[in-house]
Amino acid sequence: MKHFFNRRETIVTEALDGLLRTIGAGDLARLDGYPEVKVVLRAGWDKSKVSVVSGGGAGHEPSHAGFVGKGMLTAAVSGEIFASPSVEAVLAAIRAVTGPAGCLLIVKNYTGDRLNFGLAAEKARAEGFRVEMVIVADDIALPDIAQPRGVAGTLFVHKISGHLSEAGHDLASIAAAARAAAKDIVSLGMSLSSCSIPGQPHEDRFGADDGELGLGIHGEPGVERIVVQSANRLVAIMAERLAVRLDPKASYALLINNLGSVPPLEMSVIANAVLASPLAKAIKLTIGPGPLMTALNMNGFSLSLIRLDAARETALLAPVGPYAWMPAKPVVAPDVVPMAKAAGQSAARKPSQHAGTRRLIVTVGERLISLEGVLNGLDAKAGDGDTGSTVATGARSILERLDTLPLADPAAALGAIGDILSASMGGSSGVLLSIFFTAAAQAVDGGADVPKALLAGLERMTFYGGAKPGDRTMVDALEPALKALDSDGLGDAAIAARRGAEATAAMEKAKAGRSAYVGAKLQGVTDPGAHAVAEVFAAAASLLVTA
């Protein structure tokens, strides 16, 4: 696994300095003492208030330093990757931010954190500081274990405690609220891959179709293997486990946490699945989805819920300073607004018949459908091999709607074809052809004859699409054909289109369209779009012979 870093020994200190250099304000600072003491704290902290200190191993970013700021943590103490900070580092943080009001330590339930934060608390008390410690054990993956792990639900405790501190509550009441909150949090995680640590060999323990349910935030194995399946089903499995731990009469806040490398698109799918599940009935507020307590680059997510009361709801909704916190939001259903319909189009687009126009559309459409394989083959040499399928799809869509088209009205017919192609063809080709026919329809409406209107459509298509003759696209056949059509008629247009298409085979590289991104030399291969245009004009010209 590849990583961006300089030296394993300095990755954490460099990352913390990167945070401090990019927050855009002097709200945060760090204690001197790098690299042994890695503490980020609020600059200018008012020690008349209770300080709230948390931390743990690095690798969980933005936790914990990303949550230092007004309304949340007063200081965060970092260890090395997945390693608890030292007793000396925790004690240094307590000394730096604690005044007569005292200090609350918030600790995730891992042995190293409990011991190091605990000893630091004892030493601080011996120095005369008032210190309380709250241990968060929110993971329900191991239901029979005496000491559950602390995972992303810890952030609820950070937010509630920070809010109460900012509001001026005393140490006893903040500690009591934090302990009560910790008891009312449940979390469960799932991942499709293990994480990799910079500078260390990585061997993924997962099979091609395996996931793990109930894993921690340090890359430790999950409680059970699970077959990869739809997001809805995976979320349903987690929701079932979480639901049995909830009070059916209570309402909850939900934190949807990205463990590191799940794309935002997939995190939104997960969020939708949770809020469409039976679990949603209990959820009043959501936080996320987003990376809040990660496990380096783990491809997984976790769900955390806290039972709400009025005080907790107020605390979770209160604005804060830290950039990384995602504000709690009430759950709402998607708002659907009806689409506006084009004015005056229905009357102009009434079906009508014209024998010549119908025969032209059928002849051209059938020719394009028959060329599906040929065009795909040409496209496969430079693109993704789907030009023939795309063109055939558009042709079939027009033929299927032939009886609904206003064939007797050229402007309306051109506009209707443009609408069909934009909806059915997809990709850039469908849009370009829709622009072509839509602009041509407008030109006919403005008094132009069909050949000049088609040239107007070409001008708009090349303006938006950016292609010009010589770029090895359909324009190389379409432009000479339309110019010949305007001056000399359909027979000469077909000849000009064929010559234009054949000329693309002598062009080494495409300068527009998808083929331009490939960079391959294409000499000897006719552009599939230009070939399709030549075949369209050939099919249309064949009607002159049979007429």
234 is a domain residue: yes
Instruction: Tell whether 25 and 51 lie within a shared domain.
Output: yes
Q: What is the CATH number of the domain that holds 45?
A: 3.40.50.10440
314 is a domain residue: yes
For residue 413, give its domain range. 352-546
166 is a domain residue: yes
337 is a domain residue: no
Q: Omega of the bond prior to 289 within 30 degrees of 0, cis?
A: yes
Q: What is the CATH number of the domain that holds 397?
A: 1.25.40.340
Instruction: Tell whether 145 and 248 lie within a shared domain.
Output: no
Which residue type, as a one-letter code, is found at position 10?
T
296 CB burial (10 A radius; 0-12, 13-18, 19+) = buried
340 is a domain residue: no
The C-alpha atoms of residue 420 and residue 510 are separated, in whole angstroms, by 28
- Is residue 60 part of the annotated active site? The answer reads no
- Dmax (CA) of the chain: 106
Say which residues have a Cβ less than 8 Å from residue 17's Cβ, sequence separation at least 6: 30
Q: What are the pLDDT tens digits along the chain (547 aa)?
A: 899 999 999 999 999 999 999 988 789 999 999 999 999 999 989 999 999 999 999 999 999 999 999 999 999 999 999 999 999 999 999 999 999 999 999 999 999 999 999 999 999 999 999 999 999 999 999 877 778 899 999 999 999 999 999 999 999 999 999 999 999 999 999 999 999 999 988 877 888 888 999 988 988 888 889 999 999 999 999 999 999 999 999 999 999 999 999 999 999 999 999 999 999 999 999 999 999 999 999 999 999 999 999 999 999 999 999 989 999 999 999 999 998 876 655 555 789 999 999 999 999 999 999 999 999 999 888 777 899 999 999 999 999 999 999 999 999 999 999 999 998 987 788 899 999 999 999 999 999 999 999 999 999 999 999 999 999 999 999 999 999 999 999 999 999 999 999 999 998 766 655 444 444 556 688 999 999 999 999 999 999 866 5
500, 517, 524, 520: which is closest to 509 by C-alpha? 520
Residue where a domain terminates, one of 269, 298, 330: 330
Cβ atoms of 321 and 27 closer than 8 Å = yes
Cβ atoms of 478 and 448 closer than 8 Å = no
pTM of the predicted protein model:
0.77
Per the structure, the count of domains in the chain is: 3
Instruction: Tell whether 71 and 128 lie within a shared domain.
Output: yes
Instruction: Tell whether 522 and 430 lie within a shared domain.
Output: yes
Instruction: Tell whether 98 and 150 lie within a shared domain.
Output: yes
Options 60, 163, 218, 531, the catalytic residue:
218
205 is a domain residue: no
Instruction: Tell whether 387 and 536 lie within a shared domain.
Output: yes
335 is a domain residue: no
Instruction: Tell whether 313 and 356 lie within a shared domain.
Output: no
Instruction: Tell whether 452 and 496 lie within a shared domain.
Output: yes
